[in-house]
């Protein structure tokens, strides 16, 4: 059962989070190193995000919905869920601002 829940969280929260950030960075022509750094950090943070989502399903559902409807930026959610990704997100920030 735990693997199934982890797969759902990965599919509905982590995957879209990584894709959205990578799409924005690619659209703004961010250097590939920055795109890779942010997506690798998000992937490495996956287990921590899954643990938090399992412990707090309301956070997982509201976070996924907030990103999906555009109330929360994917990078803000990434830093909230995985504070270790803050440096990678800060490196990408100039390219993320260019998209707004």
The answer to whether 8 and 49 have CB atoms below 8 angstroms apart is no
Indicate the pLDDT class of residue 98, thresholds 50, 70 and 90.
low
According to the model, what pLDDT value does residue 64 have? 82
| Torsion of Cα atoms, 22 then 29 then 87 then 74, to 10° | -40
**Do 73 and 26 touch, CB atoms closer than 8 A?**
no
CA 36 to chain centre: 13
Count: domains in the chain:
1
Q: Is 72 helix (H, G, I), strand (E, B) or coil?
A: coil
Range of the domain at 8: 2-99
What would the pLDDT profile of 34-71 be if each residue is shown by its tens digit?
Answer: 988 988 888 888 888 888 888 898 998 898 888 888 89
DSSP codes joined into one string, 22-56: HHHHHHTT--HHHHHHHHHHHHHTHHHHHHHHHH-
């Amino acid at each position: 059962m735990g693997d199934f829940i982890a797969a759902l969280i990965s599919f509905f929260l982590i995957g879209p989070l990584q894709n959205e950030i990578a799409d924005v960075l690619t659209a703004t022509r961010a250097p590939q190193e920055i795109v890779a750094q942010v997506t690798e950090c998000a992937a490495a943070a996956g287990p921590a995000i899954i643990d938090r989502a399992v412990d707090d399903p309301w956070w997982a559902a509201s976070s996924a919905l907030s990103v999906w409807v555009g109330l929360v930026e994917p990078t803000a959610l990434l830093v909230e869920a995985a504070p270790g990704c803050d440096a990678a997100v800060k490196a990408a920030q100039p390219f993320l601002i260019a998209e707004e």
